[in-house]
Amino acid sequence: MPFNAKLTSKDIPVEGGGVRGGGCSGSLIAPDWIITAGHCFHDLDGTRVGGTPQYHMTVAVGKINDDDPRGHVVQAVDVRQSPVNDLALVKLSAPITDIAPLTLPTGPPKVGEDVDFVGWGSLSATVVAPADHMKRGHFEVSEIRHTELDMSPREARTVENSPCHDDSGSPFFIPEGDQKGRLVAIEDNGPDCPQPGVETTARVDTILDWIHEQMS
Mean pLDDT per block of 10 residues along the chain (216 residues) reads 96 91 96 98 93 97 97 98 97 98 96 97 89 97 97 95 95 93 96 91 97 96
d(CA 128, CA 79): 24
- Please name which of 88, 78, 80 lies closest in space to residue 38, comparing C-alpha atoms: 88
Residue 141 lies in a domain: yes
Q: Which amino acid is at 132?
A: D
Contacts of 25 (CB under 8 A, 6+ apart): 4, 5, 6, 7, 36, 118, 119, 120, 121, 166, 167, 168, 169, 170, 171, 187
Cα–Cα distances in angstroms (integers) from residue 77 to residues 38, 95, 140, 175, in the given order? 15, 12, 33, 29
Residue 106 lies in a domain: no
What range does the domain containing 18 cover? 4-99+211-215
| Whether residue 91 sits in one domain with residue 165 | no
pLDDT at residue 37, rounded to an integer? 98
| Whether residue 60 sits in one domain with residue 32 | yes
- Please name which of 194, 123, 171 lies closest in space to residue 27, comparing C-alpha atoms: 171
Contacts of 196 (CB under 8 A, 6+ apart): 157
pLDDT at residue 192, rounded to an integer? 87
Contact yes or no for 6/63 (Cβ under 8 A): yes
Q: Where are the alpha helices (DSSP H) in 58-178?
A: none
Residue 107 lies in a domain: no
Q: Is the dihedral of CA 51, 117, 68, 33 positive or negative?
A: negative
pLDDT at residue 127, rounded to an integer? 84
| Whether residue 163 sits in one domain with residue 88 | no
Distance between terminal CA atoms of the chain?
25
CATH code of the domain covering residue 158: 2.40.10.10
pTM (predicted TM-score): 0.95
- Please name which of 82, 51, 62 lies closest in space to residue 201, comparing C-alpha atoms: 82
| Whether residue 127 sits in one domain with residue 199 | yes
